[in-house]
Amino acid sequence: SAVISQKPSRDICQRGTSLTIQCQVDSQVTMMFWYRQQPGQSLTLIATANQGSEATYESGFVIDKFPISRPNLTFSTLTVSNMSPEDSSIYLCSVEEARQFFGPGTRLTVL
Amino acid sequence: AQSVAQPEDQVNVAEGNPLTVKCTYSVSGNPYLFWYVQYPNRGLQFLLKYITGDNLVKGSYGFEAEFNKSQTSFHLKKPSALVSDSALYFCAVRDPTTVINDYKLSFGAGTTVTVRA
């Protein structure tokens, strides 16, 4: 089973700044996903990130706000741009290998 | 479109009693169904999945779930709950027959389980 790590594990940021979250997998995977879990809420898919192609964003999420990179089959980044307090959430990456494995998440607080 | 519903925000049981967490789903084709558990300040951990075959699926930590197509349900069960089972449980569904939704999971709102000693 895939082992996924995320950096940072948590951060506190100021309004208007940007934060880049890293997701590292211990094996090569084709499909990676980024989710958001707002406080007390379920998981919402932000985008699908496949290596060699542009990320596919879900309704309500745009590339300018959440740019994603996928430079190789073991790594991806999600940037939360021009942050506001409403962006305070846990951000999780996951990979598909017969089922989805999830990273430990990045807990973001925007002041 | 695919979706799941978890009708109970919270489930409270005494240790040693049976635990049931309810989930119903909606997909256009035959569903792939999953249960995940989230402990405080930790990521999601996979419990079990139904793809095809036997309607009763056994998973991690003594959990099982029964797929019921006529009732479009996939309830999670454990015969004897432990205090350590206290966590947030998510049901998720994927419709494998729709290319656009391929591999995307839709999650329920989650059910908080509290097992009291």
User: Using the beta-carbon criterion (under 8 Å), do A101 and B46 form an inter-chain contact?
Assistant: yes
Contact map slice: A 12-71 vs B, CB within 8 A: 31, 33, 41-45, 48
User: Are the C-beta atoms of residues A48 and A16 closer than 8 Å to each other?
Assistant: no
- What CATH number should be reported for the domain whose range is B3-116? 2.60.40.10
pLDDT digits (tens, 9 = 90+) for B15-64: 999 999 999 999 888 889 999 999 887 788 999 999 888 899 999 999 99
Q: What confidence tier does B95 reach under pLDDT thresholds 50, 70, 90?
A: confident
Chain A residue numbers touching B45 (CB-CB < 8 A) = 102
User: Using the beta-carbon criterion (under 8 Å), do B107 and A96 form an inter-chain contact?
Assistant: no
Chain B's closest residue to A100, CA to CA, is B46
User: Using the beta-carbon criterion (under 8 Å), do A31 and B103 form an inter-chain contact?
Assistant: yes
Query: Hey, is the C-beta of A73 within 8 angstroms of any chain B C-beta?
Result: no
Q: Is the pLDDT of residue B101 over 60?
A: no
Question: What's chain A's average pLDDT?
Answer: 93
User: Using the beta-carbon criterion (under 8 Å), do B34 and A102 form an inter-chain contact?
Assistant: no
Each domain of chain B, given as residue ranges in start order, spans: 3-116
Chain A's closest residue to B32, CA to CA, is A99
**What's the confidence (pLDDT) of residue B98?**
61
User: Using the beta-carbon criterion (under 8 Å), do A45 and B104 form an inter-chain contact?
Assistant: yes
**What's the confidence (pLDDT) of residue A93?**
95
pLDDT digits (tens, 9 = 90+) for A55-84: 999 999 999 999 999 999 999 999 999 999
A4-110 placed in CATH 2.40.50.100? no
Task: Annotate chain B with DSSP letters as a single string.
Answer: --EEE---SEEEEETTS-EEE--EEE-SSPPEEEEEEE-TTS-EEEEEEE-SS-SEEE-GGG-EEEEETTTTEEEEEESS--GGG-EEEEEEEE-TT-GGGTT--EE---EEEEEE-
Query: Hey, is the C-beta of B46 within 8 angstroms of any chain A C-beta?
Result: yes
